[in-house]
Amino acid sequence: MTLTSFSFFAFLLIGLLVYYMSGKGQKYVLLAMSLFFYFAIAPATLRYRLKLCAIVFYVVFLTYVGGLLIDRAKGKRRTILTFFCIGGLAAVLFVTKYFYNIFTGIAGLFGNPGAFEWLNFGSVIGVSYFILSAIGYLTDVCWESYPAEKNPVNIGVFVLYFPQVISGPVTRFSQMNSQFCEKTGFDPDRISHGIRRMLWGYFKKLVISDRFFLIVNAVYGDYTAYSGWQIFLATVCYALRLYTDFSGCMDIVMGASELFGVSLPENFNAPFFSATVQEFWQRWHITLGGWFKDYVMYPLQKTKGMIELGKKCKKRFGKKAGKKIPFYLAMVVLWFGIGLWHGGAGYYFIASAGIPFLLMLLGDVLSPLFEKVSNALHIRKESGIFKTVCFLRTNLLLCFAWVFVCAGATGRGFRILGHQASHLLTGERSVLGNTTLQALDLCLMFGGMAVVLFADYLQYKGKSLTDLLDAKPFALRFLAVNAEILVILFYGLVGSSAFIYFQF
């Protein structure tokens, strides 16, 4: 089962029917659906399913029992217990994500790389996300934000809720639990919005995203044949691809969740309209950044050590400069954590943590300089031109990060950058040369992207495309939605039919 498969829609439809007929028992339906979904999206081998069972049971049990125990403990014991439980949860992440790589690497050094094959769990879907949600819950209980949940079903639904289990968003118990426990009445408007959101996601993913990917693959697959300028274009294509793919996936899951009357937190807020790199990370993968800020950075900053450091720095370097050092230190920890979460592999670390961190550092250090320059040139900060320049600057800078992701390896990333510098304008073939893209595809990609950016611009201004259409007469809404559906039907890259084969 994938998000574009028939079984997913059948699953949703049946689930919806049961859900709206089950009155008070709705959250049990959600739990059942979530369990079913989680096993359906995973490989179907018995061994793997047993592994999943173990993980699911362990995580829900630890979260539920841990919460209750933490709530009853006092003082230092409370904190220690919390760390213990969080450690237990984080252990799942380590074992499924890192242990195999680390130990195999070490064993390889000793000439026996196969020694730790039994640790090869393979990646387990969703673990990166729901473990964070669970850790957040335990931390909240420790901080007395709310009492521990006494009903294990509520914990189960919160942790395993199916729309978010594949790739987030990372949720907080306080925002989700009340929604799960409230009875949702059948509201056609909400269903309509849910479906429209899903369609929007499918449009982004199937019509736009996969086409950009063809360019990225062609150029990065054989980068020496392209000029620096062309590689840059391919990098931009990657950014557009990643955005439409990820946010499209988010739209699909959030739309699906909407069908059940449950609102998930937004993960994107017009990220390409960011004036600074810092702002970008507040608009991109919002729930992840938010989670790390609230549960890693803030607790760190509030420790005695950091506060003392801040005081000392202020004394030595004055107020402004003194603030910077603990700030940068906190940033390093934050970005290290995010890099680790993304997989810990060298190039991913650099792309998702190293470069953003450097860029934010640079931005911070150079901001007084920028101030002086823009004042000298009498540029108004509120002007549209200035803002647009800032948006472009931010996106350009981030391309450095994307290069490493596309390259797939640290060394390769540097080599590509080097190639770009040395072969800025000399390339052997056109960007579209090795792809099957036609004029029509380009229209779809760029036309589609224009619509997406327009919708994002509305979002940036605090409005939404949905509201805009809702305010118009039904006929216009009908045209817009059905035009979208037809584009997806005719031009969505959904693969080819297994039933069509030719005779000879």
Partner 1 sequence: MKKLWLLLALFLPALLFLMGVNYFLDPANIFHSDGKQIAQALMQGNEVYIGSGNTDERQIKKNMISLMPKEVDLVVVGPSLAMTIDRVTVGTENMYNLALSGADYYDILAQLGMLEEQQVKPKKILFCVDSTFFDEALYGQMSRSETLKPYADYMLQVISNQDAKKPSGTDWKNAKVLVQQIFSVTYFQACVDYVKSNGLSSLQNMRWSIREDDLSENAYLRGDGSWVYNRAYQSATGETVQKNAQEYNIDYYFTKDGHVSESSKETFEQLIRYYQGQGVEVSLFLCPLSPSLYTRVENQKESHMLLWELEEFACRMAENYDLELYGSYDPKQMGVTDADYYDARHVRHEVLCTFFDWKTY
Partner 2 sequence: MSREEVYERLTAVFQEVFDDDSIELKDETTSEDIEDWDSFEHINLVVAVETEFSFKIPMGKVITMKNVGEMVDIILSLGK
Q: Where do we find the tokens 């819950």?
A: 137
Task: Considering only residues 255 through 294, tell me which ones interact with partner 2, judged by CB under 8 A.
Answer: 278, 282, 293-294
Angle 294-296-301 (CA atoms, 0-180°, nearest 5)?
90
Contact string (CB under 8 A) for partner 1, positions 259-288, x = contact: ------------------------------
40 is an interface residue for partner 1 by CB under 8 A: no
> Is 247:204 a contact under the CB 8 Å cutoff?
yes
Q: Does 74 bind partner 2 (CB under 8 A)?
A: no
Given the complex with partner 1, which of 442 and 486 has the nearer CB atom? 486
Least spacing, CB of residue 287 vs partner 2, in Å: 13
Structure tokens belonging to residue 495: 């693969």
Asked whether position 191 contacts partner 1 by CB under 8 A, the answer is: yes
DSSP state of 44: -
Q: How far is CA 81 from CA 72, 155, 283, 472, in A?
A: 10, 19, 34, 55
Distance CA(86)–CA(368), nearest Å, equals 41
To partner 2, the closest distance from the beta carbon of 59 in angstroms equals: 22
**Residue 341, number of CB atoms within 10 A of its CB:** 20
| Interaction of residue 475 with partner 1, rule CB under 8 A | no
CB of 310 to partner 2, least distance (A): 7
Q: Residues for the chain: how many in total?
A: 504
Query: How many residues belong to the site for partner 2 (CB under 8 A)?
Result: 22
- Which of these segments, 143-151, 159-167, 224-232, 335-343, binds partner 2 (CB under 8 A)? 143-151
- Closest CB to partner 2 among 294 and 470? 294
CA distance 161 to 133: 11
> Which residues are paired to 268 by β-bridges?
284
Does residue 302 touch partner 2 according to CB under 8 A?
A: yes
The CA distance from 17 to 124, in Å, is 30
What is the residue whose two structure tokens read 């125990």? 69
Chosen from partner 2, partner 1, none, partner binding at 474 (C-beta under 5 to 8 Å by type): partner 1
In this chain, which of 140, 245, 258, 484 binds partner 2, going by CB under 8 A? 140
For residue 473, the minimal CB distance to partner 1 (Å) is: 12
Of 195, 270, 297, 390, the one binding partner 1 by CB under 8 A: 195
At 15, the amino acid letter reads G
User: DSSP of 202-222, one letter per residue?
Assistant: HIIIIIIIHHHHHHHHHHHHT
Contact status, residue 96 vs residue 120, Cβ threshold 8 Å: no
| Whether the Cβ atoms of residue 194 and residue 259 lie closer than 8 Å to each other | yes
Give strand pairing partners of 284.
Answer: 268
Site string for partner 1, 484-503 (x = CB under 8 A): -xx-xxx-x-xxxxxxxxxx
- Confirm if 226 and 168 have CB atoms less than 8 A apart: no
* Residue 308 interaction partner, one of partner 2, partner 1, none, beta carbon < 5-8 Å per kind: none
Distance of alpha carbon 57 from the chain centroid: 25
299 makes contact with partner 2 (CB under 8 A): yes
Residue 308 found at the interface with partner 2 (CB under 8 A): no
Contact 249, 129 (CB under 8 A): no
Q: Does position 103 bind partner 2 by CB under 8 A? A: no
Two tokens, residue 88: 């237990």
Q: Per-residue x/- mask for partner 1, residues 144 to 183, rule CB under 8 A? A: ----------------------------------------
Q: How far is the CB of 495 from partner 1 (least distance, A)?
A: 6
Quick one: which of 189, 304, 422, 425 contacts partner 1 (CB under 8 A)? 189
| 66 in contact with partner 2 (CB under 8 A) | no
CA distances from 133 to 66, 253, 432, 503 (A): 14, 17, 42, 53
Q: What's at 301, amino acid-wise?
A: Q
Per partner kind, with CB cut-offs from 5 to 8 A, the member of partner 1, partner 2, none near residue 9 is partner 1
Residue 23 beta carbon to partner 2: minimum distance, rounded to whole angstroms:
32
**Minimum distance of partner 2 from residue 140's CB (angstroms):** 6
Q: Is residue 301 involved in binding partner 2 (CB under 8 A)?
A: yes
Minimum gap (Å) between residue 498 Cβ and partner 1: 8
Q: How many CA atoms lie within 13 A of 484 on its CB side?
A: 19
- The one-letter code for the residue type at 62 is L
Residues 318-377 that bind partner 2 (CB under 8 A): 319-320, 323, 327, 330
DSSP state of 501: -
Cα gap 217→470, rounded to integer Å: 39
* Cβ 157 vs Cβ 134: under 8 Å: no
**Can you tell me which of 14, 21, 307, 366 binds partner 2, judged by CB under 8 A?**
307
> Is residue 492 near partner 2 by the rule CB under 8 A?
no
Binding partner of residue 310 among partner 1, partner 2, none, CB under 5 to 8 Å per kind? partner 2
**In whole angstroms, how close is the CB of 249 to partner 1 at the nearest point?**
17
Please report the beta strands in 304-429, taking only residues with DSSP state E, as ranges in sequence order.
none
Give the residue with the Cβ less far from partner 2, 210 or 364: 364
By CB under 8 A, name the one of 2, 6, 382, 462 that touches partner 1: 6
Which of 10, 53, 120, 144 is the binder for partner 2 (CB under 8 A)?
Answer: 144
* Token representation of residue 213: 């990917």
Residues that bind partner 1 (CB under 8 A): 6, 9, 187-189, 191-192, 195, 474, 477-478, 481-482, 485-486, 488-490, 492, 494-504
